[in-house]
Amino acid sequence: MPGPIIRKPPCESNAAPNLSDYASVRASFSWETAGRMLSGLPSGAGLNIGYEAVDRHAAGKNADVVALRCLRKSGQIQDCTYTQLHAQTSRFANLLRRLGVGRGERVFSLTGRIPELYITALGTLKNGSVFCPLFSAFGPEPIRLRLAIGEARVLITTEALYLRKIAQLRNSLPKLEYVLIVAGSGRSDIPDTLDFHALLDKADDHFTIPPTDPEDWALLHFTSGTTGQPKAAVHVHAAVLAHHVSALFALDLRGGDIFWCTADPGWVTGTSYGIIAPLTLGATLLIDEEEFDAERWYSVLQDQQVTVWYTAPTAVRMMMKLGINVVQKFDTSSLRFMASVGEPLNPEAVLWGQQAFGLPFHDNWWQTETGGIMIANYAAMDIKPGSMGRPLPGIEAVIVQRRTQGIECIEQPDLPGELALRAGWPSMFRGYLGEEERYRSCFADGWYLSGDLARRDADGYFWFIGRADDMIKSAGHLIGPFEVESAFMEHPAVAEAGVIGKPDPIAGETVKVFIALKPGYAADTLLQRELLGFARQRLGAAVAPKELEFRRSLPKTRSGKIMRRVLKARELGLPEGDTSTLEET
Ligand code: ATP
Ligand code: MG
């Protein structure tokens, strides 16, 4: 997608980004050498995420730095220094030990973004148990399924969520032994549960992390369910090195930063970058208990003096919908770097960042399975809006075609194919729980096959085309929904666009687009015709949709991704499949 390039100025030495010379760092990078950025457990006892994120700071110069700043729904602001976080997570680890919960056993959370969630995550990791966060808006059945797949032994939840969603499931979850309740106020006395704070208060705040092998299981993450039933990806303690390095390079994050990752820890972004990575760097992690609201978000950026902000395309599109004048009422000049992940970031959105905040959004690409950012736009590198950027140092990415036997790498630039990564980086998933065959089928000839289609240009930038499942074959053309959606996003009336292929006896498939409009535009035939013409001009008649339908909003996963398979199923009157992560609006 040719377009304007955002040139980055030469680095001034006092404000140089962490990665100021991509080519030379990439050429000399090795994961082994990078490992020296971490401490490792004392006396060579291995590598533990909890130690790298918390304990080593509590023992060093960051002891009194605020690790977590929680903006509570009540309006209260709760700060927790690295020293305090160390004590609280040690208490939680002791609490697990007292319950007899040990290495490899699964501790789930189902809460909003409250301090207890972060204590649970890090305390669980320190104990050598496996942390599995669930998104609090899930209904009972998706929760039951995930607890069962993950063989949860412990669940931390709130009183309200327990009564609404868990109590009815207890009988069907024989392996779920302990439910710890975070009470609204005072203590909780719900039968068959334990009170989180009562146990925490009683626990000792000294805890020695047991020897941890870097290959020990640490995290269990369910994928977003955009393409089907969510898969449970297993990650190990070694992943912390990729979290640390990718945040350093791709988010330009460092000690002293006020970092805001808007993703909920129920999704991998909210754990890898909403908990672990910023803490390994000694930054202050901003936690917002409330849900999205553009104006409030701007006030958070302003009042909390956020320096690095990591958000998602849907949020950016919502802000664009509200208009630039609203942003400009706020002082967001503390921001140094903005990034986005989760689905393709339309070029329009990158440029809007520049107008609204004076900084572009830096798109980056990764998956639950990759555990961390793999391809990114870096602070010091020119941006080609619409491109996902270039592979992280230490990551080898190629475009391949699957063959009956193995794969073939496509060397020539600009040809579409499947995005593949050389297997073996530290945060690569180590399995899909209970689905060994499916895991094996993700690899060929030493490469991990992502299931996403992309192309690489002559400068080594990667461009997302679409998920293999969403590609449209129309009259001999392979059409990626992203390209078509981005063309519509250039029109001032369009807030959101979702594109699907519909079976057609002649063309194979035809392209249909669903559009949600910005406020103030009428969904009438005049605008419909104008938009179709607008897209035809940009894309050509072979690629542009023939059909356009207006919707108030588009179906999305709770993590904010457009669910094209749901649009398609509804259009064709087919079963919608797994909709556990669908957010009904
Ligand atoms: P499921 O695997 O259950 O269908 P999912 O793939 O949406 O769900 P995640 O692991 O959360 O679950 O999302 C990873 C996917 O999100 C990527 O494979 C890609 O399709 C999309 N994605 C993430 N970041 C980007 C990006 N910057 N540009 C384009 N697509 C992206
Ligand atoms: Mg996926």
Closest ligand 1 atom to Cα of 231 = 3
Q: Separation of 225 CA from ligand 2 center, angstroms? A: 7
Residue 1 pLDDT level (bands cut at 50, 70, 90): very low
Closest atom, ligand 1, to C-alpha of 225: 3
Does the pLDDT of residue 115 top 50, yes or no? Answer: yes
Q: What is the DSSP letter of 212?
A: B
Q: Which residues contact 562 (CB under 8 A, 6 or more apart)?
A: 314, 343, 496, 498, 554, 555, 556
Using CA positions, which residue lies closest to atom 21 of ligand 1?
A: 343
> Burial level of 574, CB count in 10 A (0-12/13-18/19+)?
exposed
Collapsed DSSP state (helix, strand, coil) of residue 221? strand
Determine the distance separating the centroid of ligand 2 and the alpha carbon of 237, expressed in angstroms: 22
Secondary structure E strands in 291-403: 308-311, 337-340, 361-365, 375-376, 390-391, 397-402
Q: Is the pLDDT of residue 12 over 80?
A: no
Q: Is the pLDDT of residue 140 over 70?
A: yes
pLDDT of residue 107: 98
Judged by its nearest atom, the ligand closest to the C-alpha of residue 468 is 1
Residue entry with tokens 């000694």: 282
Cα 332 to ligand 2 centroid, rounded to whole Å: 34
* Mean of pLDDT values over 515-536: 96
What digits encode the pLDDT tens for the residues 184-203? 889 999 999 999 999 999 99
Helix (H, G, I), strand (E, B) or coil at 243: helix
pLDDT at 2: 56
**Mean pLDDT across the stretch 434-456?**
96
Residue 356 clears pLDDT 90, i.e. is over it: yes
CATH 3.40.50.12780 fits 22-456, yes or no: yes
Q: How confident is the model at residue 13, as a pLDDT?
A: 52
**Region 298-324 average pLDDT:** 96
Calculate the alpha carbon distances from 110 to 137, 225, 398 in Å.
9, 18, 37
CB-based burial, 124-155: b 16+ in 10 Å, e otherwise:
bbbbbbbbbbbbbbbeeebbbbbbbbbbbbbb
Task: Quickly state the pLDDT bin for 15 (edges 50, 70, 90).
Answer: confident
Q: What does the pLDDT read at residue 585?
A: 62
Average pLDDT taken over every residue of the chain? 95
What is the mean pLDDT of the segment spanning 274-294? 97
Q: Compute, in angstroms, the gap from residue 366 CA to the centroid of ligand 1.
A: 7
Contacts of 116 by beta carbon, 8 Å cutoff, 6+ apart: 156, 182, 196
Q: At what angle do helices 115-126 and 82-99 cross, to 10 degrees?
A: 60
Q: Looking at the CA of 361, which ligand is closest?
A: 1
| Mutation test residue for ligand 1: of 138, 311, 316, 561, the one with most atoms within 8 Å of CB | 561
**Which ligand is closest in space to the CA of residue 349?**
1
Say how many Å lie between the CA of residue 114 and the centre of ligand 1.
Answer: 26
Question: What is the predicted pLDDT for the residue at 48?
Answer: 98
How far away, in angstroms, is 249 Cα from ligand 1 center? 21
For 27-62, how does the pLDDT look when each residue is reduced to its tens digit (9 = 90+)?
A: 999 999 999 999 999 999 999 999 999 999 998 999
**Ligand 1 midpoint to CA 162 (Å):** 30
Q: How large is the average pLDDT for residues 125-132? A: 98
Confidence band for 226, pLDDT divided at 50, 70 and 90:
confident
Strand partners, 79: 69
Which pLDDT score is estimated for 296? Answer: 97
- Does the C-beta of 252 come closer than 6 Å to ligand 1? no
Mutate which of 271, 368, 441, 471 for ligand 1? The one with the most ligand atoms within 8 Å of its CB, which is: 368
**104 pLDDT above the threshold of 80:** yes
Nearest to 106 by CA among 241, 263, 218: 218
Q: 353: pLDDT confidence band, cut at 50, 70 and 90? A: very high
Using the atom order of ligand 1, give the atom closest to the CA of residue 369.
10
What are the boundaries of each domain within the chain? 22-456, 471-572
Determine the distance separating the centroid of ligand 2 and the alpha carbon of 122, expressed in angstroms.
Answer: 26
Ligand 1 touching residue 564 (CB < 6 A): no
The residue that leads in pLDDT, 133 or 138, is 133
pLDDT above 80 (res 584)? no
Name, in order, each residue with C-beta under 8 angstroms of 147's C-beta and a sequence gap of 6 or more: 108, 134, 155, 169, 173, 176
Atom of ligand 1 nearest to the CA of 581: 3
Nearest residue (CA) to ligand 1, atom 30: 343
Measured in angstroms, how far is the CA atom of residue 366 from the centroid of ligand 2?
10
CA 394/CA 139 separation, integer angstroms: 39
**Mean pLDDT to the nearest integer, 72-99:** 98
User: In terms of CATH architecture, what is 471-572?
Assistant: 2-Layer Sandwich (3.30)
Q: Is 230 in the pocket of ligand 1 (CB under 6 A)?
A: yes
Average the pLDDT over each of 135-149, 258-272, 319-333, 357-371 and give the range with the smallest value.
135-149
- Whether the pLDDT of residue 357 is over 80: the answer is yes
Count the neighbouring beta carbons within 10 Å of the beta carbon of residue 585.
10
Q: Mutation test of ligand 1: which of 251, 340, 365, 421 has the most ligand atoms closer than 8 Å to its C-beta?
A: 365
Task: Give the tens place of pLDDT for each residue, 407-430.
Answer: 999 999 999 999 999 999 999 999
Closest Cα to atom 1, ligand 1: which residue?
225
Q: Cα(462) to centroid of ligand 2, in Å? A: 18
